[in-house]
Structure 1
Amino acid sequence: MPFQWPIRVYIEDTDLGGIVYYVNYLKFMERARTELLRQCGYSQQQLAQDDVLFVVTGVEGRYFKPARLDDELLVSVIVERASGVRVTFQQKIIRASDSVLLCQAKVDVACVSAERLRPQRWPAQMLERLMSNFVQQLIPEEK
């Protein structure tokens, strides 16, 4: 089952035309991944103290429809695949009022040592929680 996080569109998220500026969708996705980890019991501060950081190593996304000022959005996250060092998340953003798909992306996230900034394996317990709770068959992609 996907993890979902609600986000409201504020004026700071929009361009002069009143629609969400494209890069802000990536910010919304980052927030949802952060909240997913928090729900699994991992705060960013605790992870850094445990010598764990996550870095985005790749994003492949598509935009379909615009979000506008004051829209409520739902950002979903599932784990598509995981290796020792890298996890690929599949994320979608829909408008809550009508469930219209606005954007989707695959986001590759690597685990690195906070101290050395070198790749390291994802913490086993964290990966187990993610894999047991937030994995499902691939979300069909829009064409």
Structure 2
Amino acid sequence: MTSLDLRVYIEDTDAGGIVYHANYLNYLERGRTEWLRTKGFDQNSLLERNIALVVRRLECQYRLPAKLDDLLNIETVAGTPRHCTVAFEQRVMRDGKLLFRGMVDIACIDATRYKPVRWPEDLLSAMTLDSQNA
């Protein structure tokens, strides 16, 4: 599991100071990007290898609102990888309380042809170790 702290800014909120629902997806994206970094990868290096990671399916559960100036914690856990997909469970927390939960299926694709491809061996190894330690 990786953890990312982030602050809610005015640009994240509606006129009432509540985080706009679609912005939670941005928070999840940042969480997965930082998860990748902890494994020694980044989006640019994968793209240089003609690999792109794309959202295949998304399930959201909104529990409590996040508000302007809240300090949030984004928790990211990878499941067991399959041939070219992996499911992430992600949680947006504030002071230990669950605000939002997302289940995100990510697919590994050829960045030129936009077709599914198997995980690169080094990334597959990193993901497998992470899912075993979760």
Q: Which residue in 1 is equivalent to 2:125?
A: 128
Structure 2 residues not aligned, in runs of 5+: none
Q: How many Å separate the matches in 1 of 2:30 and 2:60?
A: 16
Q: Does 1:25 align with 2:35?
A: no
Of 97, 101, 104, which residue of structure 1 is paired with 2:101? 104
Displacement after TM superposition at 1:131 (Å) = 2.1
User: TM-score when scaled to structure 1?
Assistant: 0.89
Give me the identity figure in percent: 40
Q: How many Å separate the matches in 2 of 1:35 and 1:122?
A: 18
Q: Which runs of 4+ in 1 moved over 4 A?
A: 134-137
Aligned residue identity for 2:79: E
Aligned residue identity for 2:107: A
Q: Which residue in 1 is equivalent to 2:58?
A: 59
SS in 2 for 1:30: helix
Q: How many Å separate the matches in 2 of 1:13 and 1:135?
A: 34
* Contact 2:80–2:127 (8 Å) recurs in 1: no
* Contact 2:7–2:72 (8 Å) recurs in 1: yes
* Contact 1:37–1:43 (8 Å) recurs in 2: yes
Of 112, 115, 122, which residue of structure 2 is paired with 1:115? 112
Q: Which residue in 2 is equivalent to 1:70?
A: 69
Structure 1 residues not aligned, in runs of 5+: 138-143
Displacement after TM superposition at 1:123 (Å) = 1.3
- Describe the superposition over 1:29-55 as per-residue Cα deviations: whole angstroms up to 9, x where unpaired: 000101111121112111101010011
* Contact 1:90–1:106 (8 Å) recurs in 2: yes
- Describe the superposition over 1:57-111 as per-residue Cα deviations: whole angstroms up to 9, x where unpaired: 110110000000111111011112320110000010101xx21100001100000
Q: Provide the aligned length of Structure 1 versus Structure 2.
A: 134
User: TM-score when scaled to structure 2?
Assistant: 0.94
